[in-house]
Amino acid sequence: MSTTVRTPETHDCRVAFADELIALAERDERIVAVCNDSVGSSNLVAFRDRFPDRLINVGIAEQDMVGVGAGLALSGYVPFVCGAAPFLTGRALEQIKADVAYGQAPVVLCGMSPGLAYGELGPTHHSIEDLSWLRAVAGLGVVVPADPEQTREAVRWAASAATPVFLRVGRFRVPSVTPPGTRFEFGVAQELRPGDDVSIVAIGSTVSRALSAAELLAVRGIQARVINMATVAPLDEECVRRAAGQTRGIVTVEEATITGGLGAAVGEVNLRQARPVPMRMLGSRREFAPTGDTAYLLEHFGLTAGHIAAAAAELA
Amino acid sequence: MLVADPTGAAAWRRFREELAAADRPGRARLLSVRADRLRANDIRMINRAGLGHVGGDMSVLDILTTLVFGVLAIDPERPDLPDRDRLVLSKGHSAGALYATLAAAGFFAEAELDTFAQPLSALNGHPNRVKVPGVETNTGPLGHGLPVAVGMAVAGVLAGSARRVFVVLGDGELQEGSNWEAAMTAGHRKLGNLTAIVDRNRLQQGARTEDTVTLEPLADKWAAFGWNVIELDGHDHLALYEALGTRYPLPTCVIARTVKGKGISFMEDRVEWHHKVPSGEQVATALHELEEQQV
């Protein structure tokens, strides 16, 4: 007798990102890509081959890259400024704040391979602070798609949004979680699973894990509501208020530091309720990661279905 | 967002016509008188507000005047024209000089200058494109203008437009590495539609540039990055007008030798006038000196 283990198909969201960008660029001449030598790692090879003049590679120069993006946006173009998330957001933070957000330059900042995606390359290459520092910047949308379908939708939205936005494009392979035909709505969370005992609010790579956690909890008779909070800023506050009002606790899960990111955002809304509910915030905690691949580090920081289920069970 | 002042714009248009028709000495005279009037407006504005960067404003005003009143293909009443020339003031702390210039050109009413730095004024201590027509990008932190200007120049090439991009840089801010990232990009792409003007007054906030971090040989640096370099007297209106009015096949850096506090005897080349505020008595002396110069 043999046992069949079924593993869901997983995807690198950069593929959907690049496919959609090329499809949009075919129809809209205003769309250009700007990158910091990251033609390969931002998956822009096909874009470059199709539109050689519309890929502006400034070399290894992130401050210049974001400034150039702002200049293009202020001249009527729709620049997708692509670089590895740690360098794009860390190196060019002041350009993101002053040139893009304060100047209201409608640049689409594409943070590639975010979170712990670069695993063994270490904390210099991890982007776990991006959500914290970008959420503090006024006027900047922060969007973290959960799978290829949502990445595609978010790219399509961003191309016509005419507003400064940061798009976190995942490299770590994830299964599909978005129900077919679901549109991306900026600032609106998606409730992927109903439940009235406890709420799990997840983003990006952690959404599929939250769904798996809900299945583990269901076996124990706990009904967990699973929310994909793809827009971290501005936050869907009404969704958080419902979770606080209708369930007994909220677990947030992010492939990022919890000092200022999704958990903090949800917590700020929860604390303003007349009766805030207890919370658990899962993510890294002001700790540089040890050596290990991404899967190992997600386990290390307690971001597996088992960890999420255990945290939720404490609140249910 | 402030709105255009049709009277000011009409006066600006008449000035442009007069300038185009004038002979070379006449042209220099027109720009010189105009620049000194802007100096006076700026000094009054800084005194009223109790803040500003008067030294750098005085050093950059001949450059700004020559661009806005002589060179740029713009229309103050239509500040969003897609094919307008772009002016980026990277040294955003000279906002006072920019506001005085834009107001005189009719981008907004000169009466607005009275609100400089007051609560809720559109005229912040550093320029905001969302509120002030004629401001092309928000500046203030140093080393931001050149990368944005490079993006604007790339956009001009992509669009097949003849428009030009001018960016005014402080010399001290060239210590920011982002400038040299952008200089490399512009040199590599041979952006002939881009002109950077360095307000080379040789002073930064705390001391002389060369006593802080050496910038020289500055012309060699730009040339090494693939730029065409022109050195001139940044208070010689005719030299500015002719150098800036010319199109070049390569990105061009105009190193404009200037004097911080130019035109006011007690401010000239003195580091403390970076952001010191002149008293009422000092304003009177300054205005008197500016008038004397034009007699």
Interface residue B154 vs chain A (CB under 8 A):
yes
Shortest distance between the Cα of B116 and any Cα of chain A, in A, equals 19
Shortest distance between the Cα of B39 and any Cα of chain A, in A, equals 27
Interval B7-44: pLDDT, tens:
999 999 999 999 999 999 999 999 999 999 999 999 99
Domain A10-175, CATH homologous superfamily name and number = Thiamin diphosphate (ThDP)-binding fold, Pyr/PP domains (3.40.50.970)
Does the distance separating the beta carbons of B184 and A66 come in below 8 Å? no
Mean pLDDT of chain B: 97
Does the distance separating the beta carbons of A98 and B139 come in below 8 Å? yes
Strand pairing category for B165-170 and B194-200 = parallel
Which residues of chain A are under the pLDDT cut of 70? Answer: 1-4
Facing residue for B151 by CB, picked from A63, A67, A98: A67
Task: Tell me, rounded to whole angstroms, the distance of Cα B53 from its chain centroid.
Answer: 13
Could you tell me the residue ranges of all domains in chain B? 6-293
> pLDDT at residue B194 above 80?
yes
Place of tokens 């401010």: B267
pTM over 0.95: yes
> What's the pLDDT band for B294 if we cut at 50, 70, 90?
confident
Q: Write down the pLDDT at residue A7.
A: 78
ipTM: 0.97
Q: Write down the pLDDT at residue A2.
A: 58
Q: Write down the pLDDT at residue B221.
A: 98
Could you tell me the residue ranges of all domains in chain A? 10-175, 190-315
Interface residue A78 vs chain B (CB under 8 A):
no
Contacts of B178 in chain A (CB under 8 A): 61, 63-64, 67, 95
Contacts of B186 in chain A (CB under 8 A): none
Q: Write down the pLDDT at residue A3.
A: 64
Does the distance separating the beta carbons of A74 and B137 come in below 8 Å? yes
Q: What DSSP line would sit under B166-229, residue for residue?
A: EEEEESGGGGSHHHHHHHHHHHHHT-TTEEEEEEE-SB-SSSBHHHHS---SHHHHHHHTT-EE
CATH of A190-315, one of 3.40.50.920, 1.20.120.140, 3.20.20.70, 1.20.140.10: 3.40.50.920
- Provide the 3-class DSSP secondary structure of residue B235: coil
Per-residue pLDDT, averaged over B257-261, amounts to 98
Please count the residue pairs, one from chain A and one from chain B, whose beta carbons lie less than 8 angstroms apart. Answer: 109
Per-residue pLDDT, averaged over B249-256, amounts to 98
Report CA dihedral (B22, B27, B30, B32) to the nearest 10 degrees: -170
The half-sphere exposure of A105 on its side-chain side, counting CA atoms within 13 A, is 32
User: Which residue, among B161, B181, B188, would best test binding to A if mutated, counting the most A CBs under 10 Å from its CB?
Assistant: B181
Nearest to B12 by CA among B63, B67, B51: B67
Other CB atoms within 10 Å distance of the CB of residue B70 = 22
Q: Which residues contact B171 (CB under 8 A, 6 or more apart)?
A: B198, B199, B200, B201, B202, B204, B209, B215, B218
Cα–Cα distance, A296 to A302 (Å, whole number): 10
Do B278 and B57 meet the contact criterion of CB atoms below 8 Å apart? no
User: Which residue, among A63, A68, A72, A99, would best test binding to B if mutated, counting the most B CBs under 10 Å from its CB?
Assistant: A68
Contacts of A108 in chain B (CB under 8 A): none
> pLDDT at residue B97 above 60?
yes
CB pairs under 8 A, 24+ apart, for A118-126? A118/A84, A118/A86, A118/A171, A118/A294, A119/A292, A119/A293, A119/A294, A119/A295, A119/A296, A119/A297, A120/A291, A120/A292, A120/A293, A122/A289, A122/A291, A123/A288, A123/A289, A124/A86, A125/A84, A125/A86, A126/A86, A126/A288, A126/A289
CATH class in words for B6-293: alpha beta
Cα–Cα distance, A196 to A187 (Å, whole number): 23
Shortest distance between the Cα of A101 and any Cα of chain B, in A, equals 10
Cα–Cα distance, B127 to B174 (Å, whole number): 20
Q: Write down the pLDDT at residue B228.
A: 98
Reading the block at residue A277, the tokens are: 């509910």
Identity of the amino acid at B60: V
Strand pairing category for A165-169 and A174-175 = unpaired
Do A245 and A221 meet the contact criterion of CB atoms below 8 Å apart? no
Shortest distance between the Cα of B142 and any Cα of chain A, in A, equals 10
Other CB atoms within 10 Å distance of the CB of residue B217 = 10
Nearest to B96 by CA among B70, B71, B115: B115
Task: Tell me, rounded to whole angstroms, the distance of Cα B283 from its chain centroid.
Answer: 22
Interface residue B121 vs chain A (CB under 8 A):
no
Interface residue B186 vs chain A (CB under 8 A):
no
Contacts of A72 in chain B (CB under 8 A): 151-152, 154-155
